[in-house]
Amino acid sequence: MDGVTALNYPRTSGTVRGFRLFGVPVRLHFTFLILLIFLLVTVFGSSHQSGGNYAMFLLGLFVSVLLHEMAHAFVGSRFGVRTTEIVMFPIGGLSRMERPMRPTEELLTSLAGPFVNLLISAGLLGYLYSSHQPMPRSLSDLLRPTELGALPLLAGGNLLLALFNLLPAFPMDGGRALRALLGYVKPDEEATRIAAWMGRMLAISMGLYGLVAQDFLLVFFAFFIYLGAAQEGAAALGRTLTNGIPVRAAMITEFHTLGHGDTIRDAANLLLSTSQQDFPVRHGDQVVGLLGRNLLLKALAAEGPDAYVAGVMERDFLLIGPDADLSGILPLMAQAGRCALVMDGPRLAGLLTTDNLSEFLLLRRFGMEPVV
């Protein structure tokens, strides 16, 4: 990405470290773990003798979702777009790309995931049909243990995954495909708003039906669909307000720094005496670390006020150039409290934090033109 001189993409908040698959980090959102525990307790706490089959089905479905997301990553890589992480949510996986994609790229990348699920389902159904094994007859067979084996459940589950993801609403793949198609005739931001609106309407409909039918798992899914659609809409608005605007227009130019030999006490005093919450750490003229408010408080509690900043500071931080396009930097600033250091060559020119970036976007919404 132009203007980014050092980069380690922030991981999605609320996730735990998982594993790497073909070089792509796979992380588990805490809500996914809660749902997994709930399903396992439901299965093994029931009186059905098919709990083992259903547990195998859940494992197979997890693998199917990973293959779905890896299909996105593979097709994206064909267009030169790297997948920075895959996050497993209760409603499925989410592949995060390092940059926004053009319409043709996004269309093919979005459809790749459901296509893989259709292939898996077709292969399993073909095998079951040829071997005269029982097939799932209804959606309820996929939502609770039955006497069906794991393969029939997995065939139906993949078919359901494909059809669900093809719904033309965010955050499903069908919504991304819809945005790509609209992107041929409309600006990207307007296309995103349309797909995000459809996602919110779908979530509200699902939630109301779930409440009436007392299907609270459906309400749970609707909640996450609504959040995903709302986030996409907010991201589209952010791109509209920052497209073509350099980082220097939104960065903080008046800031304080800490020395390599300063103590946590020095940092705490600076935190109290200023409104700044993230402090670059210098060693001579070189920036060697970053100490944020949360890390400072943790160090104060664990190490005490006389510990040195150098022993607790964050050494892995984001460096960006002052002329980098803000719309390309926004995805990197998504994690709350994240601070980027703006470097003009070897010189520290400013800070870009989520707080001042939010204020900049708010002023832009009211028509204030940036000073470059």
pLDDT digits (tens, 9 = 90+) for 293-347: 989 999 999 999 999 999 999 888 888 889 988 877 877 776 545 788 999 888 9
The CATH fold of domain 247-365: CBS-domain (3.10.580)
d(Cα 362, Cα 124) in Å, to the nearest integer?
A: 52
Strand partners, 20: 25
pLDDT digits (tens, 9 = 90+) for 259-294: 989 999 999 999 999 989 999 999 988 999 999 898
3-class state of residue 118 by DSSP: helix
d(Cα 172, Cα 196) in Å, to the nearest integer?
A: 10
Q: What is the pLDDT of residue 337?
A: 53
148: its two tokens: 């069906």
CB distance 340 to 329 below 8 Å: yes
From residue 129, how far is each of 53, 116, 126, 227 by CA, in Å? 19, 20, 5, 40
φ, ψ dihedrals at 21, nearest 5°: -125, 110
What are the residue boundaries of the structural domains of the chain, listed by start?
4-166, 183-242, 247-365
d(Cα 271, Cα 267) in Å, to the nearest integer?
A: 6
State mean pLDDT over 222-233.
80
Q: What is the pLDDT of residue 194?
A: 87
Handedness of CA 243, 245, 249, 252 (dihedral sign): positive
DSSP secondary structure letters along 164-220: HHTSSSTTSHHHHHHHHHHTTTS-HHHHHHHHHHHHHHHHHHHHHHHHHTT-HHHHH
Q: What is the pLDDT of residue 61?
A: 84
State mean pLDDT over 100-110.
89
3-class state of residue 278 by DSSP: strand
Question: 125-162 burial, b if ≥16 CB within 10 A, otherwise e?
Answer: beebeeeeeeebeeeebbeebbebbbbbbbbbbbbbbb
The most confident of 5-9, 238-242, 331-335, by mean pLDDT: 238-242
E strand or H helix at 363, and its extent? helix 354-365
Q: What is the pLDDT of residue 138?
A: 60
**Confidence tier at 8 by pLDDT (50, 70, 90):** very low
280: its two tokens: 């670059």
181: its two tokens: 């198609």
Q: What is the pLDDT of residue 41?
A: 67
Q: pTM value?
A: 0.68
